[in-house]
Chains A and B, each alone.
Chain A
Amino acid sequence: MADAALAAFAALGHGLALWSADGLLVTGNPAFHRRFDCFGGEVPAGTAQTGLLEAAERSGLLVRSTPAQGAPETLLEARHMLGGRTLIFSDGMVARVESWPAADGLVVTLFADVTEAKRSERLLEKARDAAAAADQSKSRFLRAANHDLRQPLASLKILIYSCMAAESEEQRQETLHAMDVSVAIMEELLGALLNIGQLDAGKVEPNVQTFQLSTVFDRLRVQFEHQAREKGLDIRIVGSRAAVESDRVLLERVLSNFVANAIRYTETGRVLIGCRRRGQMLRLEVHDSGPGIPDELRKKVFEEFYRIGDRQQDRRHSLGLGLNISQRLAEMLGHEITLRSAVGRGSCFAIDVPVGDVWHSHIGEPEINERIGGEFAGLSCLIMEDDAHLREALIRLLERWGIVVTTIEDFTRVEEAVADLDPQPDIIITDYRLRGGVQGTDLVNQVNDLLNMPCPAIVVTADTSPELIAGIRAQGFPVLIKPVSPPGLRVIMHNMLFEPELVPELT
C-alpha cells in the first residue's frame, strides 16, 4: 500500500512537496523538482518556502507570485507562506498552490497546473468585455438614432399633414421638397449607422488595388459641387494624374466624410481638395475656411458621436460619426490621417496613401466588352419595328454593342416622336411592312426630313421576293432578311457608318 502511494506520488504530473513544521523541505516528487529546476539539480532538502520562491524569482524562473487574498501574515503562515498563492512561471505555466496539514505536524503542498483554466478564464473575460462593449455601443447607437432620427421624422410627420392640407400646387411642391430633405437626412444618418455597424462586425474587407486618383476626385466633384455652391461656398478640386494603391470605395468614403464636414462647418469662403507628393506617398488634403478646431479638441473630433458645439440648426446635421468612420477605415487600410487647423482660419484633414504603379492602374471597368469599348459604343440607333418580340431582341443586341437605342412605335404621330428623340439617331433600322399599311422606307424619308442631320437607314423584311428587295435597294436602302444575323447586321452597320463606299445601295 505504502509502495503504491509512493509510486503515485512519484508519477503525479503536478508538483507535490512535503514540508516540516518549520517550513523546511523534507521531500518532493519529480514534477516538483522539474518545476523548480533553478538549483542545479533537485531542490535541496531543508530549503525554506521563502528561500524556494526567492531562488526561483532570482533565476527568472518565476515571473510573478501573488498571495491568497486577505491572508494574514502570521508567523506560522510566514513559514508556510506558499499555501493559496498563484505562481506564474516564465514559460507561461500558471500554478495554484494548495496546502494542507499532514500527520506529525508535516505540511503538504500541491502545485496544481491551472494554465488552461486561467487561459479560458481570460478568454471568457475578453469575450465578456467585448460583448459588454458591443452592447454599450449598441445602446449608444440606439440612443443616438432615437435622438437624431426623431427630429427629421417629426418634421416629416408635420410636413405630411401640411402636404395633405396644401391649398395650392406651389405650396404642395414646397412641402414635398422639404419632405425630400428630411428623408435625405434620415438616409444619411442610417447610412452612417450602417457603416459603423459593418465596421464593428468586422464585415468590411478592403480590396486594395492600383487606380487613378482622378476617378475618386471626379466622383467627389459630382457628389459635392452642387451642395457647396448651394451654400455659397467656392469648391475647388485640383485634379491629379497620380495612381494610388488603396481601396477605391473605402478611400472615397474617407474623403467624402472630410468634404462633407468641410462643407457643413464652413459658412463662407471655400473648400479645396488636392494632393501633394511626399516620396512614395501621396497626401490627399481637404482644406476649408471654416471656424477651425482648437488644439484640445483635435483628438476628440475623431471620437464617436463627437460634434463641435451644438449645430442642430444645420439643415444637414450629423451624428458625429463621419470622422470616426474615416479614422477606422484609414487604420484598416494602413493609411495615416492628419489634421492641421487654426482657429478662425480653417482646417485641413489629410490622408496619406502609397503611390501606385501606373502600369497596374485598374480603370474600374468590371468587364471589358463592346458595351464599353466597341466600335459602335455611344452611337445612337432609331428602331421602327412593330413586332414587340423582334424589337426587344434587336434592342438587346444593339445595347450589348454599346448603342443607345430609341424607338418610334406610334407611326401616326411621327413629327412629335421625332421631336422627342434623344439623342438624335446616327442610323435607323426599320421594318418594311409596318402596322396600318405604313412602309418603312416612307417612314424613314419622313423621319429624315424632320431630323437636323439625316442619317442612313437599313430596311429589314421577312419578304424574300426578289422584286420587292430590288425595289427597296433601288431607293438607296440596304436590305436584311429576317431573322437578322448579328454578324450581317454588324457588317452593314459598320459600312454605312464608317465605310459608305462599301455599300452598293449608297453609291
Chain B
Amino acid sequence: MTDPAGTPIPIGSMVPLTGPASNDGQEFRNGLSLAAEEINANGGILGRPVRPIFVDSGEQTAPEIMHAIRTLIGEHRVHAVINGYNIGAQNSEYEVVADAGIIYIHHNTLLQHHDTVMSDPERYFGCFMGDPAEYWYGQGFIKFLSWLRDSGQWRPRNRKIAIVSGPKPYSIVIANAMASASPQFGWDLTFRPRILRGVPQDWRPLLEEVRAHDPAVLANTHYHASDLARFQLQFTERPLPVLLYLQYGALHRSFSSIVGEKGRGAIVGTVIGLPRDELGQSFAARYKARYGENSTPEVGCQPYSSLHHYAVAASVAGGTEGPGGAARNRRIARVLMDLPFRSVVGTIRYHPKWQSAVPYPDATQDPSLGMPHLFYQLQDPDAPPALVAPTPFADARFELPPWLV
C-alpha cells in the first residue's frame, strides 16, 4: 500500500542522546535534520517531505539498540533508518531490519558488517554501512607510517612498533589489522597488540612498559576522547621518542580542550571525515550557521551525506515504502549500490559484496571512487587539526612532534 502524495516519509534514526557518546549523538541528529530540511526545501522525495524521527540509543548496548529499532519500525513504521554510529549491538538490529524489509544506513565502522551481510546478501539487502570498516584504519595507518618514512618526512629510529588496544571490538580489530599489515611494510611488532581489559585511569605503568621495548611508533586504538586526553597528558609528562597515533576520539573538540598545547604532534585518523574542499567547506559553513560556531560538522556530516544519498536513490527507484515493502526497498538498495554519490564526505561508493563505503587510498587508487581515509596531525590547539594525508585532500604538511625535535 502506497501512502498518498505529499504525506511525510518517516525516517528513523538511533542516536546516542544520553550516555558517553551524547556529544556525537547531538551532531548526528543535527546532520540528519539539516539534510532533511535541504531535501524538503527542494521538494522532498518525489514530492513527499521526509520526517526524521529520533530515538535515544543511550549507551548503545544491544538491548537499547533493539528497543530503539523496534520502536522505529513497529510504532513509527519508518521507511528507512539512517544514523551515525551505535557500537555494541553486534548487528542484532539487522534481524529486525531484514524482517521488515526496509533500508538501514549506519556509520558503525565495523568489520562485522561485512560478515553479516555476506553471510546472507539476500536477507540483508537493505543493510548498508555508509563508511568503511574499522579494519582499514589499521592497514591505512601502516601505509601512512611507511609513506612518512619512505618520503623522508620522518626517520624512524628503528623498525619497532608498539600497539595498545582498548577493550572494544572496534579497537581490537584496528590493532589486529595494524599488526597483520606491519611486517609487509617493514615494521616489527614489539609485542602482540596489548588488548586492555578495561581502560586504565593511570596509563603510566603501561607507558613505562612500552618504553622498555624502545619502539619508534606507538599506536593507541582506544577511541574515547576523555580517556585519550588522560593518556596524552600522562604521555607528555615524560614523552617516549615515538611517533604517536591516537584513534578517532582525539579529533574531538573535548580532547583538544583538555590537552591544549600538549596534544601537538599526535597523529589521528578517520575513515569518514570532512575534507576541506569546496563541498566540505560549504557544508561546514551551512552547518555552523544553523547549529552555532561550537557545533561539529565533522561528525554531523555522516548521516547528512547518507540521507541525501538515500533521497536520490529513492527518487530514482520511484519512491519509498515502509515495513513490508521489500520489493520497492530492494529497488532503492540496488540504486544505492549502482549510483556512487559525491557527498560532502567524499564519494560514497558501496562495495558490491560488503555493502559498505570503499575507502581511498586503502582500497581504491582513485580518489573519485572512494571515501578518503583522512590523516590529521594535531598542531595548533586553537586551529582545526592539520590534514596531512592523503593527496589530493591534504592541506598541510607533517611536522615532527615537539618531543622528537
Contact = CB atoms under 8 A, between A and B. Distances in A.
Q: Report whether chain A binds chain B.
A: yes
A239 B195 CA distance: 29
Contacts of B62: 487-488, 491
A279 to B, nearest CB: 14
A487 B110 CA distance: 13
Given A358-B146, A370-B115, A485 B92 contact: yes
24 contacts: A212-B184, A212-B186, A214-B186, A240-B186, A241-B146, A241-B150, A359-B147, A368-B111, A368-B114, A368-B135, A369-B114, A373-B111, A373-B135, A373-B138, A374-B173, A374-B176, A400-B115, A485-B95, A486-B116, A498-B167, A499-B167, A499-B168, A499-B197, A501-B198
Given A487-B89, A494-B169, A375 B176 contact: yes
Contact of A363 (B116, B139, B149, B173): B139
Interface string B302-343: 000000000000000000000000000000000000000000
Contacts of A88: none
Given A363-B184, A368-B133, A375-B172, A488 B361 contact: no
Contacts of B138: 373
Contacts of A368: 111, 114, 133, 135-136, 354, 363
Contacts of A488: 62, 90, 92
Interface residues of A, number: 35
A500 B143 CA distance: 34
A498 B172 contact: yes
A360 interface: yes
B119 interface: yes
B186 A374 contact: no
A372 interface: yes
B92 A363 contact: no
Interface residues of B, number: 46
A494 B118 CA distance: 21
Given A487-B94, A499-B198, 13 more contacts: A241-B186, A358-B185, A359-B143, A359-B147, A367-B353, A368-B363, A373-B111, A400-B115, A401-B115, A487-B95, A488-B90, A491-B90, A498-B169
A377 B114 CA distance: 15
B239 interface: no
Contacts, number: 108
A49 interface: no
Given A361-B143, A485-B92, A369 B186 contact: no
B285 to A, nearest CB: 30
Identify which of B91, B111, B363 gathers the most chain A CB atoms within 10 Å of its CB.
Answer: B111
Contacts of A499: 167-168, 197-198
B146 A360 contact: no
B89 to A, nearest CB: 7
Given A372-B180, A490-B90, A241 B115 contact: no
Interface in A320-368: 358-361, 363, 367-368
Contact of A374 (B92, B115, B181): B115
Nearest to B187: A241
B180 A373 contact: yes
A215 interface: yes
B89, B118, B184, B197 — which one has the most chain A CB atoms within 10 A of its CB? B184
Contacts of B111: 368-370, 373-374
Contacts of A501: 197-198
Contact of B114 (A240, A370, A487): A370
Central interface residue in A374, A377, A400, A401, by most chain B CB within 10 Å: A374
